């Protein structure tokens, strides 16, 4: 590993954050960040010594904010905070998300406004570098006063409590510390509050969602182009002149990609002079629909990157005489774009289902249900039932979690974002979308085969060949669930997109003409 990132002073991008999590980049505390961290830590010590009343340092929490805590009990206060706030329920979140939480929390704390001790920060970095990742339950955060419950679980291992995952095994934090010859951390004043007050649960789901939704968007254009070829649609609606007079960034980007994917296709050119004047919307309006989802993705990416480089705990310590109890922990700035992105992801599935339906209708020279012997064989009748079910399930998850707020903490926290639910829900929609795209790929590859001997473009032919490495042409009924499983794999592991990008590079075809639609 020869790449490093400076926590606290560097600008953290989504791509870099994911690279730290995967081990491609090492996060370090540089000299400047170390000085800022130590300075803030010493300022908290002054607050305690001089008995300056500051929330969470020498007071209780939430509705107990006016309860004074004597100096001798300030460390116990932080220890109790982690224990009492560890109330999460449900399945553990993915290990990668928990690791992203550690990374994003370190970057926020290392900016020097939180009063964390250098030793505590070093221990968190040890967890990241050694892939000893705390177990965090998925439910229990309302997304304001930060992600209290999940962050409390995330940092229980620092004090020898909770559980961790190491090398695929779950073990108690106490056993893990003993195995590594480590002692639990003794938290100083404000440290527990600094650890659990923040948006890192919401943020980490957002970081991963930006990556996953980008892959889904790229796949949507690719599979959509294959479907268009199978249906003998037109590329005229992707003419850049059309999109320059309604110049949304996402629309223009998608139109360019589709045009580049389809240019010089034999299939496309074979019906250039036919009497079909326009295609159904699910083909013709891909730039507008996929593009609108691109615009939503771009908005989520922009705000996620702002949050990645923000300080979101409370109170903020500028110095011993200047602390502010504010609301930087409130998840609303991410909750809204996450809900927006959920709708955007669902719409990609919605339009893909329509293309599956079109290909099964028996129009445009295709056999009904894409089978040469419909009747004895049901052909591709029922996979579209699955896309319909998944699309409808996604619609039920499009109600914005951020539209709700339930007062907590005896009314002290009387408006909350529910952004943690927004983040989790987006990933549930993406899970379904990836299956929808696998099923559309099943239909599109089958439809393209009925256009032989005509060929599509080098990129789309390579993608078709990649599909056929896993799923053969359908001549008669079989277990289509097995086909869907295979195609789901090449959609999710990125190999379908890698195939397209490799051929594009080899043939000097620029699919992506705007670096803004990347994550680095």
pLDDT in tens, 192-216: 999 999 999 999 999 999 999 999 9
Residues whose CB falls within 8 Å of the CB of residue 95, separated by 6 or more in sequence, listed in order:
133, 165
Predicted confidence at residue 520, as pLDDT, reads: 86
Question: What pLDDT is attached to residue 131?
Answer: 98
Q: Distance between CA atoms of 305 and 340, rounded to whole angstroms?
A: 16
Range name among 27-36, 236-245, 272-281 with the lowest pLDDT average: 272-281
Evaluate the omega torsion of the peptide bond into residue 242 and state whether it is cis, within 30 degrees of 0.
no
Residue 64 zone, left/alpha/beta (φ > 0; ψ -120 to 50; rest): alpha
451 touches 229 (CB < 8 A): yes
Chain-wide mean pLDDT for the chain? 95
pLDDT, one tens digit per residue, over 399-438 is 999 999 898 887 788 899 999 999 999 999 999 999 999 9
104 is written with which tokens?
């994003």
Share of the chain above pLDDT 90, in %: 89
Q: Span 506-517, mean pLDDT? A: 94
**pTM score, two decimals?**
0.96
Region 458-485: mean pLDDT is 98
Tokens found for residue 472:
């053969």
Give me the pLDDT at residue 61, please: 77
Q: Can you tell me the distance from the alpha carbon of 104 to that of 106, in angstroms, rounded to the nearest whole number?
A: 5
pLDDT of the residue at 44: 94
Q: Which of 7, 55, 340, 435 is catalytic?
A: 55
Residue 446: is its pLDDT beyond 70?
A: yes
Summarize the confidence of residues 251-259 as an average pLDDT.
Answer: 98
Question: Edge-to-edge strand order for the sheet containing 169-172?
Answer: 132-134, 163-166, 169-172
Instruction: With cut-offs at 50, 70 and 90, classify the pLDDT of residue 1.
Output: low
Q: Which two tokens stand for residue 202?
A: 């919401």
Residue that has been written with the tokens 């004597």 in this structure: 70
Q: Which domains does the chain have, with CATH numbers?
A: 4-198 (1.10.275.10), 205-312+330-404+417-512 (1.20.200.10)
Give the mean pLDDT of 59-72: 78
Written as six digits, the tokens of 271 are 């019906």
Tell me how far apart the alpha carbons of residues 344 and 293 are, in angstroms, rounded to a whole number.
5
Q: How many CB atoms lie within 10 A of CB 259?
A: 19
Strand, coil or helix: 509: coil
Give me the count of residues in the chain: 520
| Listed range (48-57, 202-211, 213-222) with the worst mean pLDDT | 48-57
Q: Which pLDDT score is estimated for 2?
A: 74
Higher pLDDT, 74 or 122: 122
Is residue 357 annotated as part of the catalytic site, yes or no? no
Position 344 scores a pLDDT of 98
Side-chain-side CA neighbours of residue 224 (13 Å): 33
User: Where are the alpha helices (H) located in 110-167, listed in sequence order?
Assistant: 118-129, 148-155
pLDDT value at position 273? 81
Return the biggest CA–CA distance within the chain.
86
At 150-195, the pLDDT tens digits run: 999 999 999 999 999 999 999 999 999 999 999 999 999 999 999 9
Cis geometry, peptide bond prior to residue 367 (ω within 30 degrees of 0):
no
How many whole angstroms separate alpha carbon 424 and alpha carbon 90? 12
pLDDT in tens, 370-386: 998 889 999 999 999 99
């Amino acid at each position: 590993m020869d790449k490093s990132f400076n926590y606290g002073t560097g600008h953290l991008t989504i791509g870099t954050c994911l690279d730290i999590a995967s081990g491609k980049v090492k996060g370090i505390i540089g000299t400047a960040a170390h000085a800022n961290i130590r300075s803030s830590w010493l300022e908290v010590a002054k607050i305690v010594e001089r008995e300056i009343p500051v929330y969470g340092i020498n007071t209780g929490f939430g509705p107990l904010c006016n309860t004074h805590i004597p100096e001798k009990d300030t460390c116990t206060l932080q220890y109790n905070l982690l224990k009492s706030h560890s109330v999460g329920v449900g399945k553990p979140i993915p290990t990668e998300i928990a690791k992203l939480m550690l990374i994003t929390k370190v970057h926020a704390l290392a900016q020097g406004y939180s009063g964390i001790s250098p030793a505590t920060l070093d221990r968190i970095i040890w967890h990241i570098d050694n892939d000893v990742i705390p177990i965090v339950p998925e439910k229990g955060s309302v997304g304001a006063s930060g992600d209290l419950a999940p962050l409390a679980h995330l940092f229980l291992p620092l004090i020898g409590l909770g559980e961790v995952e190491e090398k695929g095994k779950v073990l108690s934090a106490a056993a893990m510390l003993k195995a590594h010859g480590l002692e639990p951390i003794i938290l100083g004043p404000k440290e527990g509050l600094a650890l659990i007050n923040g948006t890192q649960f919401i943020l980490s789901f957002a970081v991963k969602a930006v990556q996953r939704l980008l892959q889904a968007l790229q796949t949507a254009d690719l599979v959509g182009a294959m479907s268009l070829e199978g249906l003998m649609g037109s590329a005229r609606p992707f003419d850049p002149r059309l999109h320059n007079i309604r110049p949304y960034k996402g629309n223009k980007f998608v139109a360019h990609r589709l045009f580049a994917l389809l240019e010089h296709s034999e299939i496309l050119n074979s019906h250039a002079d036919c009497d079909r004047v326009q295609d159904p919307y699910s083909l013709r309006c891909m730039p507008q629909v996929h593009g609108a989802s691109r615009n939503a993705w771009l908005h989520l990416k922009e705000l996620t990157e702002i949050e990645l480089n923000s300080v979101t705990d409370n109170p903020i310590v500028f110095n011993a005489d200047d602390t502010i109890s504010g609301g930087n922990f409130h998840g609303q700035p991410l909750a809204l774009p996450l809900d927006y992105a959920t709708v955007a992801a669902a719409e990609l599935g919605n339009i893909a289902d329509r293309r599956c339906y079109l290909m099964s209708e028996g129009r445009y020279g295709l056999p009904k249900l894409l089978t040469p012997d419909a009747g004895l064989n049901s052909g591709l009748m029922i996979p579209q039932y699955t896309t319909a079910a998944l699309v409808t399930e996604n619609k039920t998850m499009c109600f914005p979690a951020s539209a709700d707020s339930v007062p907590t903490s005896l009314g002290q926290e009387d408006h909350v974002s529910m952004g943690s639910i927004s983040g989790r829900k987006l990933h549930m929609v993406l899970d379904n979308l990836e299956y929808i795209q696998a099923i559309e790929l099943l239909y599109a590859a089958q439809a393209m085969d009925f256009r032989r001997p005509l060929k599509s473009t080098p990129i789309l032919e390579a993608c078709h060949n990649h599909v056929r490495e896993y799923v053969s042409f359908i001549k008669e009924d079989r277990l289509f669930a097995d086909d869907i499983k295979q195609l789901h794999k090449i959609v999710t592991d990125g190999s379908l997109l890698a195939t397209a990008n490799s051929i594009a590079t080899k043939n000097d075809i620029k699919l992506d003409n705007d670096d803004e639609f990347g994550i680095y």
